[in-house]
Amino acid sequence: MKKRKKVRLAIAILLIVGAIAFVLAKGLGSSLEYFQTANQAVADRAQLGSQDFNIEGAVVPGTIRRFGNKLTFEIQSKGVVVHVVSTGSPPQLFQAKIPVVLAGHFQGITFESNQIMVKHSAQYVAAHPNRVRSPYSSK
């Protein structure tokens, strides 16, 4: 009888540990990729559908326009340009030629964003030089 209880306890513990490991692996796996670059997102647009995600690209000069509470502009990454319509308030550092991360989703070929994040951390740039380099920088 005691042996049966120990086996059941062991199985229960294994199931709990397995479930926790699964949840952690799924959570960490999806959080490792904080954003997709504009070129990656366009390539994966069919898979992404209308689900929310973060997209990164450099703001294309001459494309920033304000229409009431909406802001339109384009971002680019590796030559791929994405048209953006944003209802979020842009941060003070928002301007042409800088890398930004946008939260939102595709609506057709347009990325609809409700949050604009400017990437300006020197530590982040040093840690990820190939991901955040603006195509407009001199390097």
Query: In this structure, are residues 102 and 55 in contact, taking their beta carbons and an 8 Å threshold?
Result: yes
> Residue 71: its pLDDT value, please?
95
From first CA to last CA, the distance across the chain in angstroms is 73
Which pLDDT tens digit goes with each residue over 12-41? Answer: 888 898 888 877 766 655 544 578 999 999
Residues 6+ away with beta carbon under 8 Å from 15: none
What is the phi/psi pair of residue 91, to 5°? -70, 165
Residue keyed to tokens 């800088």: 98
pLDDT at 133 over 90: no
Report residue 36 CA to chain centroid gap: 5
> Residue 93: its pLDDT value, please?
86
Average pLDDT over residues 115-123: 72
Residues 6+ away with beta carbon under 8 Å from 134: 58, 97, 98, 99
pLDDT at 124 over 60: no
**How high does pLDDT run on average in the chain?**
83
Q: Say what percent of the chain tops pLDDT 90.
A: 47
> Residue 41: its pLDDT value, please?
94
> Residue 32: its pLDDT value, please?
47
pLDDT at 75 over 70: yes
Residue 56: Cβ-neighbour burial (10 angstroms; 0-12, 13-18, 19+)? buried
Average pLDDT over residues 59-64: 96
> Residue 73: its pLDDT value, please?
97
